[in-house]
Structure 1
Amino acid sequence: MSYLLENPLILQLIVFASIIIFFWSLELVIFSQDIKSKASHSLLNAKFISLVLPVQMLLSTVVFMVANWTVDQSWGLLHLLPITENKVVYFITAFIAIDFFDYWYHVMMHRVPWFWRFHQIHHSDMEVDISTTVREHPGETAIRVSYLALIVFVLGVPASFLLLKQFIQSFINLTSHSKVKLNPKVDRIVSWVFVTPSTHHIHHHYVLPYTDSNYGDILGIWDRLFGTYTSMEQSSIVHGIDTNMDAEENSDFKNLVTRPFDGERIHSTNPVYANKTSLKSVK
């Protein structure tokens, strides 16, 4: 335990893996899934870890170095506010601020063509479950963690805050991809504050405008504030992206890794490439 507390990144990975194993098993039991097909699907997604983890660990080190520097220099927007002495107020303010920027990061990954090249690998999963969480192209990992380093530099937050925030974020991200969902009545209440599996699965629906909705990372309030929230019947959700609905192609690891660099294989449901239906038509 002493070693884990001194190496928080290792502790985070252990917690992350424990949550995945728990929900993976729960999905298997509740939905009576075929264990061979589920294991095959999960193994495909798990392969991305071998490419993502080195990038994540390297750039996370940079993030923590930036965080420590901002504290030493009292640098960042948060240091301009009279809240640094009150740890509770500081944590809540910093948490909301970073989650706000995380929302816009997700929007950017859909709206900027070059970024979408990498992010669409995550959306190409046609059977979203707990393992989909780790289905991230290393190119997106580099963009995501570099963006975090920039936000940490702008806001000025300590490494200890980042670790706690990452624990919360990991839990929400994992559970939001899980097939295990809340009771609809409970979900309608909780989704006003937090991202839930039901709201996030809509984001994984294969066609616009649903693909470009429900961008929230932890807090669900941003989608409602900025008009990107939508809802639909869970039974009507079809996972994937409509321009890449070939199951065989989307289960080929080599193809998925190289796809962002092949212009002829890049298609998108985002408004840069396709006609966008207004969200107002489905609210």
Structure 2
Amino acid sequence: MEAILNYFEHIPSLHRALIIVGGLTIFWIIEGIVPLFGFKYHKWKHAVPNIFFTLTTILVNLPLAFLFLKSSDWVMANNFGILNWLPEMPLWLYTILGVFLIDFIGAYLPHLIEHKVKPLWMIHLVHHSDHKVDTTTANRHHPLESIIRYVFTLMGIFIIGTPIALVILYQSLSVVFTQFNHANIKLPKKLDKALSYVIVSPDMHKVHHHYRLPYTDSNYGNIFSVWDRLLGTFKSLDTEKIVYGVDVFPDEKANSHIGKLLKQPFQKYQRPTMTDQS
């Protein structure tokens, strides 16, 4: 475990890029072998806006990465944060607990808030407006959302007291897991269900991308499914009933246009309630 943390503390930028590209490539190939849905689409054409937003996410995070490093150095030097206040523990437990807590503050919590606060929901809509959810959808986030997620992760560093190695390890795992649970892959039902008790499985996350409430407002987890189960936001739905997209932005052509997606958070609309959709 020490060797793993040492690696992520000094991981070269090239290796981080390879994790992103490698994950996309692997799940892209698996989607072609065992797809969940037999989409009739031009896969590369569909991927263009999603890859564009993946690149904007990287561009947002790169210049701000030094704040992660400075903050991590500060909490470690000042013995600040939850991990530093707990009794000494084995390194493997320290690592798992750290990743577990960052997953809550840096992913589950902002995701939940984005669904509950209308201006943030408008920003998050870019992610939900994909009508053909596959592994490229994983990082389809408006640049403003990338900043929001960054702020929550930065806040998590102070609250949890995480060294930079744990932050980078979490980010690397997050990329792979989100590519996995967005991937258009069909796992055996029993396997998917078993996985969903610990991690966010593909079928579990697909429910979150259903176009109508209450399913859209469920299954917010990124790596661990435990948060949804503990906090009452877990829902299940037969994958055959899932319809992707957002009911108030049904134009698939517009939702595939980069320029219109960049403007999407600034459009006016009234989000329907569950009563409206019943």
Measure how far apart 1:199 and its partner are: 0.3
Q: Is the 8 A contact 2:110 2:148 kept in 1?
A: no
- 3-state DSSP of counterpart to 1:229: coil
Measure how far apart 1:103 and its partner are: 1.6
Aligned residues: 268
Partners of 1:27 and 1:51 in 2: how far apart? Answer: 24
From 253, 256, 261, give the equivalent of 1:248: 253
Q: Which residue does the alignment assign to 2:274?
A: 276
Q: Which residue does the alignment assign to 1:10?
A: 14
Q: Is the 8 A contact 2:8 2:168 kept in 1?
A: no
From 192, 209, 226, give the equivalent of 1:204: 209
From 23, 38, 42, give the equivalent of 2:43: 38
**1:20 equivalent in alignment to 2:24:** yes
Instruction: Render the CA deviation track for 1:257-277: whole Å, top value 9, x for unaligned.
Output: 011123x2x45xxxxx33236
Q: Which residue does the alignment assign to 2:3?
A: none
Measure how far apart 1:145 and its partner are: 0.7
- 3-state DSSP of counterpart to 1:163: helix
Q: Which residues in structure 2 correspond to 1:105-144 (within 5 Å)?
A: 105-144=110-149
Partners of 2:116 and 2:235 in 1: how far apart? Answer: 18
TM-score w.r.t. the length of structure 2 is: 0.89
**Which amino acid in the other structure matches residue 71 of structure 1?**
M
- 3-state DSSP of counterpart to 1:205: coil
Measure how far apart 1:172 and its partner are: 1.0
Measure how far apart 1:11 and its partner are: 1.3
Partners of 1:118 and 1:64 in 2: how far apart? Answer: 27
Percent identity (aligned): 33
- The higher relative CO (CA closer than 8 Å, separation ≥ 6) is in 2
Q: Which residue does the alignment assign to 2:159?
A: 154
**1:226 equivalent in alignment to 2:231:** yes
Q: Which residues in structure 2 correspond to 1:13-92 (within 5 Å)?
A: 13-31=17-35, 37-83=42-88, 86-92=90-96
Instruction: Render the CA deviation track for 1:118-157: whole Å, top value 9, x for unaligned.
Output: 1110000000001101211100000101110011012111
Measure how far apart 1:177 and its partner are: 0.3
Residues 100 and 6 of structure 1: CA distance in aligned 2, closer, same or farther (over 3 Å): closer
Q: CA RMSD in A?
A: 2.3
Partners of 2:231 and 2:199 in 1: how far apart? Answer: 15
From 94, 97, 106, give the equivalent of 1:93: 97
Q: Which residue does the alignment assign to 2:4?
A: none
**1:237 equivalent in alignment to 2:242:** yes
Q: Is the 8 A contact 1:8 1:163 kept in 2?
A: no
After TM superposition, where is structure 1 displaced by more than 6 Å over at least 4 residues in a row? 32-36
Measure how far apart 1:95 and its partner are: 2.1
List gaps (5 residues or longer) in structure 2. 1-6
Partners of 1:252 and 1:122 in 2: how far apart? Answer: 13
From 181, 186, 190, give the equivalent of 1:185: 190
List gaps (5 residues or longer) in structure 1. 268-272
Q: Is the 8 A contact 1:28 1:35 kept in 2?
A: no
Of stretches 43-52 and 139-148 in structure 1, the one that deviates more from structure 2 is: 43-52
